[in-house]
Amino acid sequence: MNDELRALYQEVIIDHGRRPRNSKKLEHPSCTQEGYNPLCGDRLTLYLRIDDNRIIDASFEGEGCAISMAASSLMTERIKNMTVTEARQLFTAFQNLVTQAEPPDNIREYLGKLSVLGGVRDFPVRIKCATLPWHALNACLNNINTKQIVSTE
């Protein structure tokens, strides 16, 4: 296995991909958002419970590749108890991680465990897999019409 593949399929990703955390329907969510990647058929529904501008709980239901499932699992773990403002900042930082050629060290430190998904940089067609739950999150936070499915296309 070459270095790029090793970076893409780190143990954390395989683990979260197979045993995603927070994979359930949330009761009484304040926001529900579907995300869909029509290219590969990855589909997820993100549930957020936001109270007093803070994300009290987050979960998702869906089916997809190891990258999209791990991304959803790691994202929902991290955003719990964040304020909406902090979650927006996290979204921007994650976008920078997966799209910038050499993301600065402070972004990696800030993102912590989420940095394991930085390996998708070397696999342009897989960036959509990693960002699918993040686009759903962004739509929720920006109060986009939640009846509309967020698409990576």
> Could you list the residues that contact another protein (CB under 8 A)?
1-2, 4-5, 8-9, 11, 14-15, 18, 39-43, 63-67, 123, 125-126, 129
For another protein, the closer CB: 2 or 106: 2
Residue pair 152/128 in contact (Cβ under 8 Å)? The answer is yes
For another protein, the closer CB: 55 or 98: 98
For another protein, the closer CB: 18 or 25: 18
- Cβ at position 62, least distance to another protein in Å: 10
- Cβ at position 131, least distance to another protein in Å: 14
For another protein, the closer CB: 29 or 62: 62
- Cβ at position 125, least distance to another protein in Å: 8
- Cβ at position 136, least distance to another protein in Å: 17
**Within 13 Å, how many C-alpha atoms sit on residue 94's CB side?**
28
Residue pair 46/11 in contact (Cβ under 8 Å)? The answer is no
